[in-house]
Structure 1
Amino acid sequence: MSDQRVLIIEDEKSLVDVLTYNFENEGFEVLSATDGMDGLNQARAHHPDIIILDVMLPVMEGLEVCRQLRGDSRTSDIPVLMLTAKSEEVDEIVGFRMGADDYVTKPFKLKPLIQRVKALLRRSKSGEPSKELVSKHGIEVDRLNHRALAGGDVLDLTPTEFDLLWTLVRKPGRPFKRSDLMEACRGEDALSLERTIDVHIRSLRQKLGTYADLVETVRGVGYRFRETEPS
């Protein structure tokens, strides 16, 4: 029997009952909350092994719950699987802005959901070092908390600019084609044409200020982050 604890934050009582029954049959201890604030408080008090979090919740919406979970040292390491009834919200939910680890769109089948939960738990217990933070030449990008800094100063980046910086910084010296960068940018403000990458890069450089030269143009290819620090 498993001694792992799952917290279900969901306001649909019938779904909570079904999930509780099935997870208890799998050997889990189950906690539940029917609004976002109660769920956040339970997560802080009981530190479950994993959280199943609905997007549409009373008192505090699921995305805000997720953001606060990730910003709290007591809960930042807990895997979060989000539930949504709107498939078009997928990019926002699984995007690193809020820190969700996975999502399932309603209606869903129970067996695949349970398998996803178990997979997230295996990953969180594997002991692998975190790959959510990169730092190079004074630029730091924290994907878990969606925060980027240049010389210690927080950058006010759009989702697309953030994804661009993350993609470039984690592979210094590697040239990226514009098409590759477009694929990496799934933010809601990303446009579909490759040439718009140039506009986003220009804006990113402006916000980087004295660090702008770290983002280099590779003629005939695209862009890269400098492998060696400028003198």
Structure 2
Amino acid sequence: MIYFLEDDNSIRELVVYTMNSTGFDAVGFSKPREFWAAMEQELPSLILLDIMLPEEDGLQILKKLRAASATKKLPVMMLTAKDSEYDKVLGLDSGADDYMPKPFGMMELMARIKALLRRAGAAEENAREYALGGLFVSPARHLVKVDGKEVQLTLKEFELLCYLLENDGVVLTRDKILTRIWGYDFDGETRTVDVHVRTLRQKLGSCGGIVETVRGVGYKIDWKG
């Protein structure tokens, strides 16, 4: 869900219509009090926020969002008629993730929204840490520990482990693993996956058994954390 707070009816209706027509779920609000009421019911995945608003301006709203633990990392894009460098810097310094001055084209706006959502998704995934028994993995810090001791993995081994953890309980075929980790197929040759799984298990020692073989299909990790 995307929330758009904008008091100009024509702009708000056009943007909301365009977002809903291109696969997003979007709702528009003309006044901050309507926006805050909706925030109490459901948090969106992204907020488009005008600066010049009745009741309270967009920068005040942004500061409130960044001050609250539930919304401090929520992606926010500022949309405003102001295009001076000062206003842009002020918005970004206040915690905005992106900034787009009016007038703007719908295609560019949609592209910027998609890019911001991708960045937010990647950041959220990287911020996640995994703990399973004696195994600890931090993708953001590129850190793996087994029973409290750091384990050195090659880049491919680390990416393979993270890919399996991201897909907890899902069986990943060798072809999927090849495409994701190596970026291409080996014309049906999947031995390289088996070799890397074997060395990964060896390096994980007592925790190596978390990587399960699904005969005739591929590999998976069963982890509920």
Distance in 1 (alpha carbons) for counterparts of 2:66 and 2:38: 15
Distance in 2 (alpha carbons) for counterparts of 1:99 and 1:43: 18
Distance in 2 (alpha carbons) for counterparts of 1:43 and 1:117: 19
RMSD: 1.5
1:68 to 64, 67, 90: 64
Q: Would you identify which runs of 4 or more consecutive aligned residues in structure 1 move more than 4 Å?
A: none
Q: CA offsets, 1:122-178, max 9 Å, x none?
A: 111112339xxxxxxxxxxxxxxxxxxxxxxxxxxxxxxxxxxxxxxxxxxxxxxxx
Indicate the percent of aligned positions where both proteins have the same amino acid: 34
1:68 deviates by 0.5
Alignment of 1:100-119 (within 5 A): 100-119=96-115
1:69 deviates by 0.7
Residue 128 of structure 1: SS of its match in structure 2? helix
Distance in 2 (alpha carbons) for counterparts of 1:94 and 1:116: 15
The residue number in structure 2 matching 1:128 is 126
Distance in 2 (alpha carbons) for counterparts of 1:25 and 1:37: 26
- TM-score, normalised to structure 1, is 0.51
Distance in 2 (alpha carbons) for counterparts of 1:107 and 1:19: 12
The residue number in structure 1 matching 2:75 is 79
Alignment of 1:1-231 (within 5 A): 5-88=1-84, 89-95=87-93, 98-126=94-122, 127-129=125-127
**Letter of the structure 2 residue corresponding to residue 91 of structure 1:** V
1:31 deviates by 1.4
Q: Which has the larger helix fraction?
A: 2
CA contact (8 A) 2:13 2:28 kept: no
| Structure index of larger Rg | 2
The residue number in structure 1 matching 2:134 is none
In structure 1, runs of 5+ residues without a counterpart are: 131-231
1:73 deviates by 1.8
In structure 2, runs of 5+ residues without a counterpart are: 129-225
- TM-score, normalised to structure 2, is 0.53
The residue number in structure 2 matching 1:174 is none
Distance in 1 (alpha carbons) for counterparts of 2:5 and 2:95: 16
Distance in 2 (alpha carbons) for counterparts of 1:26 and 1:124: 19
